């Protein structure tokens, strides 16, 4: 009888833990988005690639993703007249979730100063919760970016 009771308590505890892992939260999305943009800030393309859902990774290889990301980032860096050894930082702002969809804006920071803000509806960054993990959902259907 004691073994059955311990087993039931353990099953309930595991179910509660699993529920907490998969329950959408603003804090969870904010932490995930900050990790993604930290990787982006330092051109860590492999890390960034891991934030995308399987359907994206099936359509866009890591090499394609890396090549397109590098080209895009180099263009941004050139247009903003940023030296090669300097980085653009990102600040995640205005995080909101509805069900398993999440959205937020970003501030672009250069040397600690805000040089751009993307918080209007058309500029928001979209995420989706899949299997308890926030994944980047703001990508094109016809290519990597």
Domains of the chain: 24-136 (3.10.450.100)
Q: What is the pLDDT of residues 56-98, one digit of tens each?
A: 999 999 999 999 999 988 998 888 888 878 888 999 999 999 9
Q: Give the C-alpha separation, 130 to 45, whole Å.
A: 21
Q: Are 53 and 59 in contact (CB under 8 A)?
A: no
CA 72 to chain centre: 18
Model confidence, pTM: 0.78
Q: Give the C-alpha separation, 1 to 6, whole Å.
A: 9
Q: What is the pLDDT of residues 12-60, one digit of tens each?
A: 445 444 444 557 899 999 999 999 999 999 999 999 999 999 999 999 9
């Amino acid at each position: 009888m004691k073994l059955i009771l311990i087993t039931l308590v353990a099953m309930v505890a595991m179910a509660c833990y699993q529920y907490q892992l998969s329950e959408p939260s603003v804090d969870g999305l904010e932490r995930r988005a900050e990790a993604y943009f930290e990787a982006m800030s330092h051109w860590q393309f492999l890390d960034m690639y891991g934030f995308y859902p399987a359907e994206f990774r099936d359509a866009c290889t890591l090499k394609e993703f890396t090549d397109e990301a590098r080209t895009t980032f180099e263009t941004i860096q050139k247009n903003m007249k940023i030296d090669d050894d300097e980085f653009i930082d990102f600040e995640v702002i205005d995080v909101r979730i509805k069900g398993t969809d999440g959205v937020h804006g970003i501030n672009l920071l250069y040397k600690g100063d805000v040089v751009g803000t993307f918080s209007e509806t058309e500029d928001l960054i979209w995420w989706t919760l899949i299997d308890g993990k926030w994944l980047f959902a703001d990508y094109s259907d016809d290519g990597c970016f």
